[in-house]
Structure 1
Amino acid sequence: MFVNKISVEISWGDCDPAGIVYYPQYFRMFDSCTAAIFRMVTGIDKRAMIERYGIVGFPMVDTGARFYIPSRFGEEIQVHTSVPKIGRSSFEVSHRVFRGEDLAIEAFEKRVWSAIDQESGRLRGIPLPPEIVSALSTPSIHEGVSS
């Protein structure tokens, strides 16, 4: 399984009045990490990937998280993102957030590789390209850049 590791410095704007990261900010970070893992396996950014594969994107249909340790302004966290389960058109994304050696958050997303159906005009799931499935399934660890 391909794992992308991204270091993120917590900014002042990520925090609530108590000085800890306001939880929706993590989901913004996770969305960036999901885009980054696809950029790592395809070699192109999300805009180019949408154009190349004729998709509108990969919208989230389910998400959740367990928060163990809070993060504060100025701290650095590392987000380990992987895709542990791939279906025909849907896939699950795992985000494990570490503060130092300590596991701070375990989160997941379920997303669907999606396009607009030409007949109905509705959004629908389409099969993931085999080369992307293969790349995401290949064991590898990549140290990404902060997104």
Structure 2
Amino acid sequence: MTRTFEMPVRIRFAHCDPAGIVYFPQYLVMTNALVEDWFDDALGIEYAHMISVRRVGLPIVKLNCEFARPSRLGETVTLALSVDSVGQRSIRIEIVCQCNGEVRFRSRQVLVTTSLDDGRSIDIPGDIARAIEQFAPGTSRALQEESDT
């Protein structure tokens, strides 16, 4: 069974449009923060160090989003991240946003490790791959080649 990493998020004024509901691009800001916290808190890999010192980036190269119900100012939602699979250079994740058991937003993403010095994709560094594989047992590093580009 795949483990999930969960993070509660209070919906703030800055997340919302004039109607008081989450403006859809803000979900991507929230999911990026979730990935950073997942690295720091669950994987034991300091995200800031990975970016600024190791110069390893993790951009989204494929994104699918579904918006089921609006989230509103003042609510607390829970974001849950799970790993679908791990490839040589990419990670497939799913993020589900819920409030009181109701799905509000779902995102499937493919993240690719890149060199921040030249912008090219690189193999997932060993320590990061091991941390991710421990988090999501049963995943394989055999994603289809189309995900690695």
Alignment-mate amino acid for residue 3 of structure 1: T
1:96 maps onto 2:129 in alignment? no
Paired residues for 1:131-142 under 5 Å: 131-138=127-134
TM-score normalised to structure 1 length: 0.81
Paired residues for 1:1-147 under 5 Å: 1-50=2-51, 54-116=54-116, 122-138=118-134
| Alpha-carbon distance in structure 2 between the residues aligned to 1:91 and 1:25 | 22
Is residue 41–residue 136 contact of structure 1 (8 Å, CA) maintained in 2? no
Distance 1:132 1:50, change over 3 A: same
Would you say how many aligned residue pairs link Structure 1 and Structure 2? Answer: 135
After superposition, the CA RMSD in angstroms is: 1.9
Is residue 57–residue 116 contact of structure 2 (8 Å, CA) maintained in 1? no
| Cα-to-partner distance string for 1:102-139 (whole Å, 9 max, x where unaligned) | 1111112211111156xxxx311111123322322335
Alignment-mate amino acid for residue 23 of structure 1: F
TM-score normalised to structure 2 length: 0.80
Unaligned 5+ segments in structure 2 are 137-149
Aligned-residue sequence identity (percent) comes to 30
Structure 1 runs of 4+ off > 3 angstroms? none
Unaligned 5+ segments in structure 1 are 141-147
| Alpha-carbon distance in structure 2 between the residues aligned to 1:93 and 1:77 | 19
